[in-house]
């Protein structure tokens, strides 16, 4: 039992026959050391947890043997969801079915035949487990089902978690503050004037004629010509610099970070889970386009992963909606619609760019141009994608010619032409020719 706890602790959830059990013959020093360590871990675990002993073993067994095809909820994975299975079948039947489902089907058990036919006649493999292990699994399934039933009631009571509010200050807030400050200034000024006038009247002095606002402004301007000239000069310089950059930035979309129809996080997929870029963008190695994965690629994982860590079911259900997929039955419907992602990198049509040329032949890492995508929650354009940016890279990147038979003679010829010590960069093989990219 302690071993099973250890397996949950250390993440060995998959193999029932993993090597933790097969160490009986290790009588050497390392073995004893490991034994001591394990006992220590177990002790630590006992200190840390007071939970019942039977549950985690069921959990580990379930995840190791059953989770590939069954969920503890209602939804179909490969086989049926096992929620409330204890209400549908008694434990004797479940023991028989788990050990040898085909025997039950062949014996003509009504329920067994029905399940077998309903789920596409996929044979459930016989599970080589002991009775108490199977019972532990079903206890775990039962507990999970009851847990799932208790959770929604609790969350609806406590309110849903809201996404973090936009940190940016709204311009309307600033405008409102400025306007109210101005109004306050006017009011206070009036009060001040009124008090001054009252004071003058008390002292018997004549109240001065009010100067019209326009005249007052003119007077102020006349009195402060130098200050105004200085302010205007600063505004002009600042405006020119800003205007210069604004004009120079036309046609450059660096930093563009549009909202996408699904809040897909590259940080989670490529960063935390370390899925290779080319798993989803599989055509980057073969074609001009890196490729937006079709939704069937999403489903390779999201058939099983139905809830995300941040947005829960909300965002993943948009994939299901696009595919008209029912996660409970596992069936695809006829009303499928494409997901309209927003393109981030908009190279002008007058420039030709080919991904495979850079990824497969050049062996350039995706991050060279796209930046630290594995750290981006929302994808943005990292590089400027200007012609100068392309050319800079072509001037400095060396072509790997060693071991490439295609380049053998060419490399020799280039060395003859440019000298033996010259770096064979991309521009040496025509990487700066206009017609390489513009035609």
Partner 1 sequence: MITEKMMKNLSTLAVLSFIALMYSSCKSDKKHPGYEFMPDMYRNAAVKTYRVSDFFNDSLSALTPVAGTMPRGINTYFPYPNTNEGYEAAGATLTNPVALTDLTIEEGKELYTIKCRHCHGEKGDGKGTIKVKGDLFPVPSYFDETRMALKEGHMFFSITYGKNLMGPHASLLSQEERWKVIHYIQHLQKNYLAEQNKTAAGN
Q: Which residues bind partner 1 (CB under 8 A)?
A: 11, 13-15, 17, 25, 63-64, 67-69, 77-78, 121-123, 125, 235-236, 238-239, 242-243, 245-246, 249-253, 255-259, 272-276, 278-279, 282, 289, 292, 294, 296-297, 299-301, 303-305, 307, 309, 338, 340-341, 343, 346, 348-350, 380
The helix (H) or strand (E) run that includes residue 332 is strand 331-332
> Whose Cβ is closer to partner 1: residue 230's or residue 236's?
236
Asked whether the beta carbons of 3 and 21 are under 8 A apart, the reply is yes
Q: Tokens at residue 386, please?
A: 């200007």
Minimal distance, residue 243 CB to partner 1, in Å: 4
Minimal distance, residue 263 CB to partner 1, in Å: 14
Backbone angles phi, psi at 312, to 5 degrees: 60, -135
Q: Tokens at residue 398, please?
A: 């060396």
Minimal distance, residue 188 CB to partner 1, in Å: 27
Minimal distance, residue 304 CB to partner 1, in Å: 5
Minimal distance, residue 394 CB to partner 1, in Å: 22
Place of tokens 């050319």: 391
According to DSSP, the residues that pair with 312 across neighbouring strands are 308
Q: How far apart are CA 413 and CA 291, in angstroms?
A: 37
Residue 164 DSSP class: P
> Whose Cβ is closer to partner 1: residue 224's or residue 300's?
300
- The burial of 112, by beta-carbon neighbours within 10 Å (0-12 exposed, 13-18 middle, 19 or more buried), is given as buried
Angle of CA points 8, 14, 17, to nearest 5°: 100
Minimal distance, residue 46 CB to partner 1, in Å: 21
The helix (H) or strand (E) run that includes residue 212 is none
Minimal distance, residue 203 CB to partner 1, in Å: 39
Asked whether the beta carbons of 83 and 30 are under 8 A apart, the reply is no
Determine how β-strand 325-326 pairs with β-strand 331-332.
antiparallel
List Cα–Cα distances, 253 to 27, 202, 281, 344, 382, in angstroms: 65, 68, 22, 9, 9
Buried b (16+ CB within 10 A) or exposed e, 266-302: bbebbbeeeeebbebbbbbeeeeebbebebeebeeeb
> Whose Cβ is closer to partner 1: residue 160's or residue 335's?
335
Instruction: Compute the half-sphere exposure of residue 69: CA atoms within 13 Å on the CB side of its CA.
Output: 12
Instruction: Compute the half-sphere exposure of residue 173: CA atoms within 13 Å on the CB side of its CA.
Output: 3
> Whose Cβ is closer to partner 1: residue 106's or residue 193's?
106
Minimal distance, residue 194 CB to partner 1, in Å: 31
> Whose Cβ is closer to partner 1: residue 84's or residue 346's?
346
> Whose Cβ is closer to partner 1: residue 370's or residue 428's?
370
Minimal distance, residue 101 CB to partner 1, in Å: 14
List Cα–Cα distances, 89 to 83, 93, 276, in angstroms: 11, 7, 43
> Whose Cβ is closer to partner 1: residue 93's or residue 389's?
389
> Whose Cβ is closer to partner 1: residue 14's or residue 114's?
14
> Whose Cβ is closer to partner 1: residue 52's or residue 350's?
350
Q: How far apart are CA 199 and CA 10, in angstroms?
A: 85
Minimal distance, residue 134 CB to partner 1, in Å: 17
Q: How far apart are CA 350 and CA 390, in angstroms?
A: 14
Minimal distance, residue 296 CB to partner 1, in Å: 6
Q: How far apart are CA 370 and CA 384, in angstroms?
A: 10
> Whose Cβ is closer to partner 1: residue 68's or residue 84's?
68
**Cα 425 from chain centroid?**
36
> Whose Cβ is closer to partner 1: residue 286's or residue 418's?
286
């Amino acid at each position: 039992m302690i071993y099973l706890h250890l397996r949950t602790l250390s993440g060995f959830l998959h193999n029932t026959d993993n090597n933790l059990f097969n160490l009986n013959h290790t009588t050497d020093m390392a073995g004893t050391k490991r034994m001591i360590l394990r006992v220590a871990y177990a002790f630590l675990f006992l200190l840390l947890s007071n939970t019942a002993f039977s549950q985690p073993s069921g959990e580990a067994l379930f995840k190791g043997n059953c989770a590939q095809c069954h969920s503890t909820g209602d939804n179909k994975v490969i086989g049926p969801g096992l929620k409330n299975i204890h209400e549908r079948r008694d434990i004797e039947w479940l023991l028989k079915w788990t050990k040898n489902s085909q025997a039950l089907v062949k014996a003509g058990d009504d329920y067994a035949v029905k399940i077998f036919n309903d789920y596409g006649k996929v044979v459930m493999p016989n599970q080589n487990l002991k009775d108490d292990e199977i019972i532990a699994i079903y206890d775990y399934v039962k507990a999970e089902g009851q847990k799932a039933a208790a959770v929604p009631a609790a969350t609806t009571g406590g309110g849903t978690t809201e996404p973090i509010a936009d940190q940016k200050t709204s311009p309307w807030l600033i405008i409102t503050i400025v306007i109210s400050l101005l109004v306050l200034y006017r009011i206070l000024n009036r009060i001040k004037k009124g008090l001054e006038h009252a004071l003058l009247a008390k002292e018997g002095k004549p109240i001065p004629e009010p100067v019209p606002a326009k005249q007052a402004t003119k007077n102020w301007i006349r009195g402060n010509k130098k200050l105004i000239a200085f302010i205007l000069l600063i505004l002009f310089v600042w405006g020119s610099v800003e205007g210069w950059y604004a004009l120079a930035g036309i046609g450059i979309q660096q930093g563009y970070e549009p909202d996408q129809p699904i809040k897909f996080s590259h940080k989670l997929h490529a960063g935390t889970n370390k899925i290779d870029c080319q798993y989803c963008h599989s055509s980057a190695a073969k074609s001009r386009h890196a490729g937006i994965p079709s939704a069937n690629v999403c489903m390779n994982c999201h058939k099983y992963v139905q809830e995300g860590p941040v947005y829960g079911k909300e965002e993943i259900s948009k994939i299901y909606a696009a595919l008209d997929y029912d996660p409970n039955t596992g069936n695809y419907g006829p009303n499928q619609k494409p997901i309209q992602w927003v393109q981030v990198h908009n190279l002008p049509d007058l420039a030709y760019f080919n991904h495979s040329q850079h990824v497969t032949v050049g062996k350039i890492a995706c991050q060279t141009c796209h930046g630290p995508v594995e750290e981006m929650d929302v994808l943005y354009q990292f590089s400027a994608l200007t012609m100068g940016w392309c050319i800079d890279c072509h001037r400095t990147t060396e072509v790997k010619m060693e071991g490439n038979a295609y380049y053998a003679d060419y490399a020799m010829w280039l060395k003859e032409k440019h000298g033996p010590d010259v770096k064979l960069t991309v521009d040496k093989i025509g990487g700066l020719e206009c017609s390489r990219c513009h035609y």
